[in-house]
A = this chain, B = another copy of it.
């Protein structure tokens, strides 16, 4: 921690104020003489100085810090989102503090609590459970906050999400337009509102007859994908002509299971999923993907909290939709 302002003041013979002013770059504003500035600069160049942000934060009640609580940072979607959000923050001199809840509501609460105790200027949350109504939360200056990706009905905080329902509808429609007759949708974690919306969208496009089945699992993982595929295979009968998955993890598990059971993924099966992975391009199958725009989501989330930090009253219950892209790989194959 090198020297403190007091020490520098002591040792150069100037007052703390003077030192503060030149170190914070407001020397001219306070008309510190060039000579004084130089003396102080030189002293610092020699002895070093790292500001103690803790003390500064305590005094100014700003931490120049934004908290982000992700359900699972190992999920590439959130990793990319985090990278974009961090870039937004850095551009404004803010530091992003990322934490993950592991999809555990109790951990989510603890993470939020911990970030607030540390005085973050704003919070970005991808919730894994509905939050208690505002009235139940303790009063006091509430920290600016924005929800991303997921939105539980009734939450009054602004949410930035993709239109999961519409995207699922488009994806499913594209699958059917490619000639699929029997379509199966594998869903991890249907309690998650994003997933629930995807199911709704799937139903809109595919109907709910015999030829459009939805299988669900308790969580969003490769194991869940495997389990659903096993259930499907156990049913006997022929494979569907298209497989739609709610996430890359589920897809991965499902395809691995299929490969084990049938020695290969049938190349004529249409594969559809949310989120992009480069290796999908290598499959011989037609692959259709909804690719969310993590950078745009991050920008939207950031501009919301920036506005709130700037004093703009939070837009209660607003929901902002960010467009996603429908990508078709191997369309020519």
Question: Which of A's residues lie within 8 Å of B, judged by CB?
Answer: 1-3, 47-48, 50-55, 57-58, 63, 65, 72-74, 76, 79-80, 82-83, 86, 90, 95-100, 107, 113-114, 116-119, 138-141, 222, 249, 252-253, 255-256, 259, 264-265, 277-284
Q: In the bound complex, what is the Cα–Cα distance between A138 and B141 (angstroms)?
A: 39
**Contacts A2-B139, A99-B95, A252-B278: A117 and B79 contacting too (C-beta < 8 A)?**
no
Q: How far is the CB of A64 from chain B (nearest CB, A)?
A: 9
B264, A279: Cβ atoms closer than 8 Å: no
Q: In the bound complex, what is the Cα–Cα distance between A107 and B91 (angstroms)?
A: 12
B281, A48: Cβ atoms closer than 8 Å: no
Besides the known contacts A1-B116, A54-B118, A97-B97, 11 further A-B residue pairs in the complex with CB atoms under 8 A apart: A48-B138, A48-B140, A50-B116, A50-B138, A53-B118, A54-B57, A73-B73, A73-B79, A73-B83, A256-B282, A279-B283
Report the nearest B residue to A115, measured CB to CB: B95
**Contacts A2-B138, A53-B117: A83 and B76 contacting too (C-beta < 8 A)?**
no
Q: A86 to chain B: which residues have CB within 8 Å?
A: 73, 99-100
**Contacts A2-B140, A54-B57, A283-B282: A98 and B95 contacting too (C-beta < 8 A)?**
no
Q: In the bound complex, what is the Cα–Cα distance between A131 and B119 (angstroms)?
A: 31
- Please tell me how many copies of the chain the complex holds: 2
A50, B282: Cβ atoms closer than 8 Å: no
B79, A74: Cβ atoms closer than 8 Å: yes
Q: In the bound complex, what is the Cα–Cα distance between A65 and B282 (angstroms)?
A: 42
B63, A74: Cβ atoms closer than 8 Å: no
Q: In the bound complex, what is the Cα–Cα distance between A58 and B98 (angstroms)?
A: 22
A256, B281: Cβ atoms closer than 8 Å: yes
Q: How far is the CB of A105 from chain B (nearest CB, A)?
A: 15
26 contacts between A and B (CB under 8 A): A1-B116, A1-B140, A3-B140, A48-B139, A48-B140, A50-B117, A50-B140, A52-B58, A52-B119, A53-B117, A53-B118, A53-B119, A54-B57, A54-B58, A54-B63, A54-B119, A73-B79, A73-B83, A73-B86, A74-B76, A76-B76, A79-B79, A90-B107, A252-B278, A255-B282, A282-B282
Q: In the bound complex, what is the Cα–Cα distance between A96 and B97 (angstroms)?
A: 8
Q: A255 to chain B: which residues have CB within 8 Å?
A: 279, 281-282
Contact of A281 among B90, B98, B140, B259 (CB under 8 A): B259
Q: A281 to chain B: which residues have CB within 8 Å?
A: 252, 255-256, 259
Q: How far is the CB of A25 from chain B (nearest CB, A)?
A: 15
Q: In the bound complex, what is the Cα–Cα distance between A53 and B74 (angstroms)?
A: 28
Report the nearest B residue to A260, measured CB to CB: B281
Q: In the bound complex, what is the Cα–Cα distance between A278 and B222 (angstroms)?
A: 9
Contact of A95 among B118, B222, B252, B253 (CB under 8 A): B118
A114, B139: Cβ atoms closer than 8 Å: no
Q: In the bound complex, what is the Cα–Cα distance between A280 and B279 (angstroms)?
A: 7
Q: How far is the CB of A263 from chain B (nearest CB, A)?
A: 8
Contact of A74 among B57, B80, B116, B252 (CB under 8 A): B80
